């Protein structure tokens, strides 16, 4: 005679500890198994139940009772039929007998969980052996209920808990998937933003390089960082102007490509001298070349640096003339004094200098002689210690009148 016990083994992820007393509820004494009218019982909600038992009497009795209490019930006489039904009509809970001719209950349990891990399985069996209970728990059963005549209180209580558990598991699964999708979308967006940032950084670097090719490094950095107008005053600067003598006549006898090639070769050598002596190239105008020493970074030896460059420029033209056989000369003028320097333009930036010092340096060049460097008295005072100078005398300078000027002859020999 079977004992009227119910084995309730809720999984919750914790295996049974067989060393502790196992929960055994008497059908006669447990308040959970006392059958109440449907109107008095409170479930989480009705749901789908698949009942699997090879006994038609069990299917009819239990199915009818569950249906009267609001459950939507479908029955299967064996394991294979039950699995087809699970696929076609996913239940909230599956109630399964252990012993069936076509497929054992444990096999059904494993197969159901392969289909959908969130479907709870309640084992309903006439076998009250503790070993069977433990095996069911280990196989993943949500609960184990012993058949006891037509008393369904324990079974329905188990079904209700199983349905609530399954719904929580599915909601957790849904939220986990949603979180995973959100994380993947976020990762994709982060990668996209990183790619955009990298492209932007590369573009900014290209723009910065282009700007530094046009402007002095210090000025370009200020524009890039501050984004403000650049305008500075300098009290001590030497401005240098140079003009290729005979280039206009040469250009008239050459093709455009030849003219550009000749000018590019000479100007490129001048650019190298600017870098070598630490001057700042301001601009070229036709065959004229303008540079300045003492800006944008002030330096006390501005006139000395400019004189060294001027002598080297004469040597460049001399060497080029000797190598090419083309007669070209170079006329240079310099003046020292205060200037204003800044960046002008909104589309094509240009770093330029203004002031009377610039105008007078230009007059020194235009009134100089081919192959010579003419300087003012102001510049001469800076050069006395290192350079040999030749007094030219008074020269009528446009807009200035008669001015005393000097030629830089060369560097003084080291004693």
Are 366 and 388 in contact by the 8 Å Cβ rule? The answer is no
Tokens of 92: 């909230």
Rounded Cα–Cα distance for residues 47 and 93 (Å) = 8
CATH T-level fold of 5-172: Rossmann fold (3.40.50)
Rounded to the nearest integer, the mean pLDDT of the chain is: 84
Are 144 and 51 in contact by the 8 Å Cβ rule? The answer is no
What are the pLDDT digits (tens) for 349-372?
777 899 999 999 999 999 999 999
What are the pLDDT digits (tens) for 184-203?
999 999 999 999 998 888 88
- The answer, yes or no, to whether residue 130 has pLDDT greater than 90, is no
Tokens of 69: 């209490």
What does the pLDDT read at residue 40? 44
What are the pLDDT digits (tens) for 384-414?
999 999 999 999 998 889 999 999 999 987 5
Mean predicted confidence (pLDDT) in 216-222: 67
Are 330 and 371 in contact by the 8 Å Cβ rule? The answer is yes
Angle between helix 130-139 and 105-115 (nearest 10): 20
Residue 130 in 3-state DSSP? Answer: helix
Mean predicted confidence (pLDDT) in 268-272: 95
At the top level of CATH, the class of 230-411 is alpha beta
What are the pLDDT digits (tens) for 31-59?
333 344 444 444 444 799 999 999 999 99
**Domain-wise residue ranges, the chain:** 5-172, 230-411
Rounded Cα–Cα distance for residues 183 and 172 (Å) = 16
Mean predicted confidence (pLDDT) in 135-156: 84
Count of alpha carbons within 13 Å of 284, Cβ hemisphere only?
13
Mean predicted confidence (pLDDT) in 335-359: 85
What are the pLDDT digits (tens) for 289-335?
999 999 988 999 999 999 999 999 999 999 999 988 888 999 999 99
Confidence band for 21, pLDDT divided at 50, 70 and 90:
very low
N residues, the chain: 415
Confidence band for 132, pLDDT divided at 50, 70 and 90:
confident
CA distances from 149 to 5, 11, 62 (A): 12, 26, 10
- Residue 336 pairs with which residues in a beta bridge? 238
Percent of the chain, pLDDT > 70?
A: 81
Q: What φ, ψ does residue 294 adopt, rounded to 5°?
A: 105, 10
Mean predicted confidence (pLDDT) in 243-260: 90
- The answer, yes or no, to whether residue 101 has pLDDT greater than 80, is yes
How many Å separate Cα 380 from the centre of its chain? 57
Q: What φ, ψ does residue 136 adopt, rounded to 5°?
A: -60, -45
Helix or strand run (H / E) with residue 154: helix 153-214
Same fold, 5-172 and 230-411: no
Rounded Cα–Cα distance for residues 102 and 59 (Å) = 17
What are the pLDDT digits (tens) for 227-236?
566 778 999 9
Are 132 and 98 in contact by the 8 Å Cβ rule? The answer is yes
């Amino acid at each position: 005679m079977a004992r009227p016990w119910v084995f309730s083994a809720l999984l919750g992820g914790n295996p049974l500890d067989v060393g502790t007393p196992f929960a055994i509820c008497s059908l006669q004494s447990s308040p959970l198994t006392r059958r109440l009218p449907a109107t008095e019982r409170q479930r989480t909600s009705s749901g789908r139940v698949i009942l699997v038992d090879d006994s038609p009497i069990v299917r009819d009795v239990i199915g009818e009772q569950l249906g009267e209490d609001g459950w939507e019930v479908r029955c299967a006489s064996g394991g294979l039929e039950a699995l087809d039904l699970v696929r076609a009509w996913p239940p909230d809970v599956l109630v399964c007998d252990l012993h069936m001719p076509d497929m054992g209950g444990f096999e059904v349990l494993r197969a159901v969980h392969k289909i959908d891990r969130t479907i709870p399985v309640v084992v309903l069996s006439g076998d009250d052996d503790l070993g069977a209970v433990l095996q069911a728990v280990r196989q993943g059963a949500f609960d184990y209920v012993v058949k006891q005549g037509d008393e369904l209180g324990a079974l329905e209580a188990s079904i209700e808990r199983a349905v609530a558990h399954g719904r929580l598991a599915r909601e957790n699964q849904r939220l986990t998937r949603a979180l995973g999708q959100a994380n993947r979308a976020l990762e994709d967006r982060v990668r996209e933003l990183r790619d955009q940032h990298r492209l932007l950084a590369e573009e900014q670097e290209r723009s910065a390089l282009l700007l530094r090719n046009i402007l002095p490094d210090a000025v370009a950095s200020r524009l890039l960082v501050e984004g403000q107008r650049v305008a500075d005053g300098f009290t001590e600067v030497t401005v240098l102007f140079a003009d290729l003598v005979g280039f206009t006549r040469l250009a008239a006898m050459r093709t455009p490509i030849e003219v550009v090639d000749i000018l590019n070769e000479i100007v490129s050598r001048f650019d190298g001298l600017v870098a070598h002596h630490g001057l700042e190239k301001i601009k070229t105008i036709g065959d004229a070349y303008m540079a300045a020493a003492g800006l944008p970074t002030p330096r006390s030896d501005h006139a000395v640096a400019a004189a060294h460059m001027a002598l080297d420029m004469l040597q460049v033209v001399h060497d080029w003339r000797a190598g090419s056989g083309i007669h070209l000369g170079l006329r240079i003028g310099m003046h020292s004094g205060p200037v204003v320097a800044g960046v002008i333009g909104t589309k094509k930036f240009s770093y330029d200098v203004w002031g009377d010092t610039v105008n007078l340096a230009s007059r020194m060049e235009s009134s100089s002689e081919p192959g010579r460097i003419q300087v003012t008295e102001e510049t001469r005072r800076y050069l006395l210690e290192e350079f040999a100078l030749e007094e030219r005398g008074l020269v009528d300078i446009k807009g200035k009148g008669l001015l005393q000027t000097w030629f830089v002859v060369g560097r003084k020999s080291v004693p």
